[in-house]
A and B are shown apart, each in its own frame.
Chain A
Amino acid sequence: MTVPCCICTVLLQYVFNSLSCVVKHVYVLGLVCDLCCSQRWRRAGRAKINDTFSCLFMVAPNPVTLSWMRNWPPTREGGCGGLVMRTPVEPHITECISRNQETFRCWWSPGSFHNLSSPGALRVFYLKKVLPTSEWIECPEYIYSNRECFFDVNHTSIWVPYCLQLRSQNHTYFNEDDCFTVENIVRPDPPVSSNWTLLEISPSGLSYDVMVNWEPPPSADVEMGWMRIEYEIQYRERNTTNWEALEIQPHTQQTIYGLHIGEEYEVHIRCRMQAFTKFGEFSDSIFIQVTEIPSKESTFPLTLVLLFGIVGILIIIMLIVVSQQHRLTLILLPPVPAPKIKGIDPELLKKGKLDELNFILSGGGMGGLPTYSQDYYEGEPWVEFIEIVAEDADTGEKDNQGSDTQRLLSQGISHHMNISFPDDDSGRASCYNPDLPDQDTLMLMATLLPGQPEDREASFNVVERAPAPERGERPLVQTQTGGPQTWVNTDFYAQVSNVMPSGGVVLSPGQQLRVQESTLATEEKTQKKEKKHKWSEDTEDNKQKELQFQLLVVDPEGSGYTTESNAWRISPPPSSPMPGEGYQPIHPQPVETKPAATAEDNQSPYILPDSPQSQFFAPVADYTVVQEVDSQHSLLLNPPPCQSPPPCLPEHPLKAIPAMPVGYITPELLGNLSP
């Protein structure tokens, strides 16, 4: 619809977005008369401004109007349109407010009728609908500067409807909507003198509670109860936009919980009448801020001290542990005793260092072994005394230099390893003779002789089998591979059971032990055979070693030696034994072959459990002490201390140690024996 230009007034300017012509800002303008409201304006929308419906129009692409619009109070975004009020705004009452329910004020506006803006052009009349017939009365008090009409106490009636109208000279502007009752227009003044006190700080020291106090507005008669006011607190952090509102309540104090330390808060309060809806204005803001308080610091060092104390203690403990590591490891993890020879660096016992070992063993150098006395080794049960038979130096020299064993043993013999024998039986069980090279000693010897693993195992085999078949005899120490039988014939122990008239010594084992151990020996033999077949490359050597494992079985009754038969029983049949290379008994006289000769004829002292030929000989001591050698070169032996074999038998069958004499032949004695 067309609107006449002259009547149109731009009351408000809408700043449009250049793209979409959306209302962005509203400016209240003065009257502008030269804006045309012709139909060139396209209608953009309908807006309600001050309760009066108005139409929004967009500017048509008219250079004149556009330019004018651009020149008007600066648009923020280069608006594309303006506003035109479709209908003029009448003079109207803007608002009526009562502060204390005893007086009230009303403001009016001339609207678009600017000619009526001058004081006195418009007059305010009010009507109190007290009586059925009532009349309009003019405003009791004008305040033209504010366009305000003030109704004092005398003219204010509560619970009475008021209606206001504006009158110009020839026109009356009245709106039914402008009627009200005073209690419904009450907006109390904001509360005054608000302050805050700190209630408490949380244990974590991060938040605190605050109590806010204020006074009711002085204009409101609260003491008498004419106005009952309830309050609403709102707070927010300093630079945020959203206010937090707490619950409305009628008391003049309220607690705010959960404020954060170090942040500044803004608080304001407003009030309204109870059971009514209109709030008054907000009070002036008060600012709350609580920073870290010093009392917190007093607890802080305490925690710091505790922390450092604990850390320091931990460090000290660590230092102690590290410094006393060895001792602690000793206490907590006692070392496992390793095989060693006293006086010899264990490093030397490793592979390849035989020269040094020999050197030391021979007693040379700084690391010479100390005298091997019994007292020296009293506390060490693992020490076993080894007797090495004195061998001819020639044989020693003939030894294959490539064989460590030969070298060791030859040197040992040539150097007359002086290992003393224990002479007395003190401190030991009577039945236990550690002098005998039992399994441990033989193991030791085997370890001392580095060689091929097969050999070692073979020797081990031999060692294991040694105690089994015979008590008195010991296996020959085997040598390495070698063509000729260059093995050193060293028999460490021999039991002297009888002395021949010719001077030879008859050696015999304990018989009962043989009985029990023969079966075990056979079993072991089969096992060892299997093992040997596994890892043996030089089967010949193995067999030889088996053959070399000679058991000297002596029949105390003069049956003589049965080495060969025994060897056959023990070793695999295919290879022929070499009796000649068999055991060479230790005796000074050249009564050597005799035992060998009688070997075949003799029945095997290997008495199998089910053999009818088992002969239970009288228990014969394996060892006899040679007390002296008489002039005829015969050995005088003592009766063995132990008569009954069973108590002498240790539990372990392999380690059966028979009754033995206390002493045995020393090399010196041996020397004496020789002619």
Chain B
Amino acid sequence: MPGNIRSVSFVVLVCLLFCSRLTSVGATPICTNAHAGCHVLSLSNLFDRVIQHSARMHGISNDLHSEFEQYFLPSRNQIGRVSRNCHTSTILTPNGKENAQKMAREELTEVILKLLVAWRDPLWHFHHSMAHYDDFNNFSSNKALEMSDMVHELRKGVEKVAEKMQVLGITSNTVNSLTSPEALLPSESAEWRLMKDYDLLYCFRRDSNKVQNYLKILKCRIVPEHGC
């Protein structure tokens, strides 16, 4: 018995040491300038985090869209109509895997950031407009809020990735122009107000899927892994 206790306590100590190390890894902020004392995350880790984030965002958008469809049952197929009404449809995005792979990394990163920037305000407003829907439960309202937060977080994350890539010399400095998103999309700022909620959800679902796939492609190109 005392032997068991000793071994268990030893294991616990070891675990604490490691866990503290791990948590320190997580708790340490990402250092942009590689200051001394900062733990620098690798680009691969950054990409993984961002990709996970985007996947979750897409999942939430899908859930909201299907819920909306159940409640409001729009007419059967509005693809044709809706796709013309997405405010982000003016953004030129690669429409296929090959196209995305052919695109320059900087462009791809820019596209991603454009998309994310374009959705920040609409989602915020959407979340507020959810209060008008009595049929929607709080769960859906929380999802909308989470979605808008995620877009914001994801945009920051992608910006960090872009910076990292710049630092590492992978990309050129053309990405810096994205720091002022409002200047980028002045005309589109009013269009989304005309969108109906269903259309908004539909469009966002599509765009989040785009972001997710683009990030994957980007990662595969920049951080070479098996299978890329």
Question: Contact between B97 and A275 (Cβ–Cβ < 8 Å)?
Answer: no
Min CB–CB distance B44 → chain A (angstroms):
13
A276 close to B (CB within 8 Å): yes
Q: List the A side residues contacting B84 at CB < 8 Å.
A: 129, 132
Given contacts A132-B84, A224-B228, contact A159 B98 (CB under 8 A): no
Q: Which of B68-126 contact A (CB under 8 A)?
A: 76-77, 79-80, 83-84, 93, 95-98
Min CB–CB distance B30 → chain A (angstroms):
23
B206 close to A (CB within 8 Å): yes
Question: Whole-angstrom distance between the alpha carbons of A176 and B77 in the complex?
Answer: 7
Stretch at the interface among B159-167, B188-196, B210-218: B210-218
Question: Contact between A176 and B93 (Cβ–Cβ < 8 Å)?
Answer: no
Q: List the B side residues contacting A224 at CB < 8 Å.
A: 216-217, 220, 227-228
Tally A residues with Cβ within 8 Å of B.
Answer: 31
A168 close to B (CB within 8 Å): no
A156 to B, closest residue via Cβ:
B96
Min CB–CB distance A181 → chain B (angstroms):
6
Question: Contact between B80 and A223 (Cβ–Cβ < 8 Å)?
Answer: no
Q: List the A side residues contacting B66 at CB < 8 Å.
A: 277
Question: Contact between A276 and B228 (Cβ–Cβ < 8 Å)?
Answer: no
Q: List the B side residues contacting A143 at CB < 8 Å.
A: none
Question: Whole-angstrom distance between the alpha carbons of A499 and B166 in the complex?
Answer: 154
Question: Contact between A223 and B227 (Cβ–Cβ < 8 Å)?
Answer: yes
Question: Contact between B55 and A180 (Cβ–Cβ < 8 Å)?
Answer: no
Min CB–CB distance A224 → chain B (angstroms):
5
Partner of A102, one of B76, B77, B96, B228: B96
Q: List the B side residues contacting A163 at CB < 8 Å.
A: 79-80
Q: List the A side residues contacting B79 at CB < 8 Å.
A: 161, 163, 179-181
Given contacts A226-B217, A228-B55, A275-B59, contact A102 B97 (CB under 8 A): yes
Question: Contact between B95 and A159 (Cβ–Cβ < 8 Å)?
Answer: yes
Q: Tell me if B's interface is mostly helix, strand, loop or mixed.
A: helix
B208 to A, closest residue via Cβ:
A275
Question: Whole-angstrom distance between the alpha carbons of A157 and B219 in the complex?
Answer: 21
B6 close to A (CB within 8 Å): no
Question: Whole-angstrom distance between the alpha carbons of A275 and B84 in the complex?
Answer: 23
Question: Contact between A129 and B58 (Cβ–Cβ < 8 Å)?
Answer: no
A201 close to B (CB within 8 Å): no
A221 close to B (CB within 8 Å): yes
Q: Render A153-190 as a binary contact track against B, CB cut-off 8 A, 1 for contact.
A: 10011111101000000000000111111010000000
Question: Contact between A179 and B220 (Cβ–Cβ < 8 Å)?
Answer: no
Min CB–CB distance B183 → chain A (angstroms):
25
Min CB–CB distance A183 → chain B (angstroms):
6
Q: Render A1-43 as a binary contact track against B, CB cut-off 8 A, 1 for contact.
A: 0000000000000000000000000000000000000000000
B200 close to A (CB within 8 Å): no
A294 close to B (CB within 8 Å): no
Q: List the B side residues contacting A222 at CB < 8 Å.
A: 227
Q: Which of A330-362 contact B (CB under 8 A)?
A: none
Partner of A276, one of B62, B93, B97: B62
Question: Contact between A225 and B220 (Cβ–Cβ < 8 Å)?
Answer: yes
Question: Contact between B226 and A179 (Cβ–Cβ < 8 Å)?
Answer: no
A226 to B, closest residue via Cβ:
B97
Question: Whole-angstrom distance between the alpha carbons of A163 and B81 in the complex?
Answer: 11
Q: Which of A57-106 contact B (CB under 8 A)?
A: 101-102
Min CB–CB distance A268 → chain B (angstroms):
26
Q: List the A side residues contacting B80 at CB < 8 Å.
A: 129, 161, 163, 176, 179
Q: Render A258-278 as a binary contact track against B, CB cut-off 8 A, 1 for contact.
A: 000000000000000011110
A130 close to B (CB within 8 Å): yes
Q: Render A544-579 as a binary contact track against B, CB cut-off 8 A, 1 for contact.
A: 000000000000000000000000000000000000
Q: List the B side residues contacting A130 at CB < 8 Å.
A: 95
Q: List the B side residues contacting A183 at CB < 8 Å.
A: 206, 209
Question: Contact between A179 and B77 (Cβ–Cβ < 8 Å)?
Answer: yes
- For chain B, give the interface size range: 20 to 34
Given contacts A102-B97, A157-B95, A275-B58, contact A181 B77 (CB under 8 A): no
Q: List the A side residues contacting B226 at CB < 8 Å.
A: 223
Question: Whole-angstrom distance between the alpha carbons of A181 and B205 in the complex?
Answer: 12
B147 close to A (CB within 8 Å): no
B59 to A, closest residue via Cβ:
A275
Q: List the B side residues contacting A179 at CB < 8 Å.
A: 77, 79-80
Question: Whole-angstrom distance between the alpha carbons of A181 and B203 in the complex?
Answer: 12
Q: List the A side residues contacting B228 at CB < 8 Å.
A: 223-224
Question: Whole-angstrom distance between the alpha carbons of A276 and B227 in the complex?
Answer: 24
Question: Contact between A274 and B210 (Cβ–Cβ < 8 Å)?
Answer: no
Q: Render B124-157 as a binary contact track against A, CB cut-off 8 A, 1 for contact.
A: 0000000000000000000000000000000000
B201 close to A (CB within 8 Å): no
Question: Contact between A274 and B95 (Cβ–Cβ < 8 Å)?
Answer: no
Partner of B55, one of A153, A226, A274: A274
Question: Whole-angstrom distance between the alpha carbons of A158 and B59 in the complex?
Answer: 18
Question: Contact between B213 and A226 (Cβ–Cβ < 8 Å)?
Answer: yes
Q: List the B side residues contacting A223 at CB < 8 Å.
A: 225-228
Question: Whole-angstrom distance between the alpha carbons of A160 and B59 in the complex?
Answer: 20
B158 close to A (CB within 8 Å): no
Question: Whole-angstrom distance between the alpha carbons of A494 and B145 in the complex?
Answer: 128
Question: Contact between B220 and A159 (Cβ–Cβ < 8 Å)?
Answer: no
B51 close to A (CB within 8 Å): yes
Min CB–CB distance A215 → chain B (angstroms):
13
Q: List the B side residues contacting A221 at CB < 8 Å.
A: 97
Question: Contact between A177 and B96 (Cβ–Cβ < 8 Å)?
Answer: no
Min CB–CB distance A70 → chain B (angstroms):
40
Question: Whole-angstrom distance between the alpha carbons of A156 and B94 in the complex?
Answer: 12
Question: Whole-angstrom distance between the alpha carbons of A63 and B129 in the complex?
Answer: 66
Question: Contact between B95 and A160 (Cβ–Cβ < 8 Å)?
Answer: yes
Q: List the B side residues contacting A228 at CB < 8 Å.
A: 55
Question: Whole-angstrom distance between the alpha carbons of A221 and B219 in the complex?
Answer: 15
Question: Contact between B95 and A226 (Cβ–Cβ < 8 Å)?
Answer: no
Question: Contact between A157 and B77 (Cβ–Cβ < 8 Å)?
Answer: no
Q: Which of A113-133 contact B (CB under 8 A)?
A: 129-130, 132
Question: Contact between B97 and A161 (Cβ–Cβ < 8 Å)?
Answer: no
Q: List the A side residues contacting B55 at CB < 8 Å.
A: 228, 274-275
Q: Render A128-150 as a binary contact track against B, CB cut-off 8 A, 1 for contact.
A: 01101000000000000000000
Given contacts A159-B210, A161-B83, contact A225 B51 (CB under 8 A): yes
Question: Whole-angstrom distance between the alpha carbons of A444 and B227 in the complex?
Answer: 117
Question: Contact between A275 and B62 (Cβ–Cβ < 8 Å)?
Answer: yes
Interface centre among B66, B210, B216 (most CB of A within 10 A): B216
Question: Contact between B77 and A177 (Cβ–Cβ < 8 Å)?
Answer: yes
Q: List the B side residues contacting A158 at CB < 8 Å.
A: 95-97, 213
Question: Contact between A157 and B96 (Cβ–Cβ < 8 Å)?
Answer: yes
B99 to A, closest residue via Cβ:
A157
Question: Contact between B206 and A159 (Cβ–Cβ < 8 Å)?
Answer: yes
Min CB–CB distance B25 → chain A (angstroms):
24
Question: Whole-angstrom distance between the alpha carbons of A276 and B97 in the complex?
Answer: 18
Question: Whole-angstrom distance between the alpha carbons of A277 and B205 in the complex?
Answer: 13
Q: List the A side residues contacting B220 at CB < 8 Å.
A: 224-225
A132 to B, closest residue via Cβ:
B84
Question: Whole-angstrom distance between the alpha carbons of A160 and B84 in the complex?
Answer: 10
Q: Which of B33-57 contact A (CB under 8 A)?
A: 51, 55
Sample of 16 A–B contacts (CB below 8 Å): A130-B95, A153-B98, A156-B96, A158-B97, A159-B209, A179-B77, A180-B79, A181-B79, A223-B225, A223-B226, A223-B228, A224-B227, A226-B213, A274-B59, A275-B59, A276-B62
What residues of chain A have their CB less than 8 Å away from a CB belonging to chain B?
A: 101-102, 129-130, 132, 153, 156-161, 163, 176-181, 183, 221-226, 228, 274-277
8 closest A-B pairs by beta carbon, nearest first, are A223-B227, A225-B216, A157-B95, A275-B62, A179-B79, A161-B83, A161-B79, A177-B77
What residues of chain B have their CB less than 8 Å away from a CB belonging to chain A?
A: 51, 55, 58-59, 62, 66, 76-77, 79-80, 83-84, 93, 95-98, 206, 209-210, 213, 216-217, 219-220, 225-228
18 additional contacts, CB 8 Å, given A179-B79, A225-B219? A102-B96, A130-B95, A153-B98, A158-B96, A159-B93, A159-B210, A160-B83, A161-B83, A163-B79, A176-B80, A180-B77, A222-B227, A223-B227, A225-B51, A226-B97, A226-B217, A275-B209, A277-B66
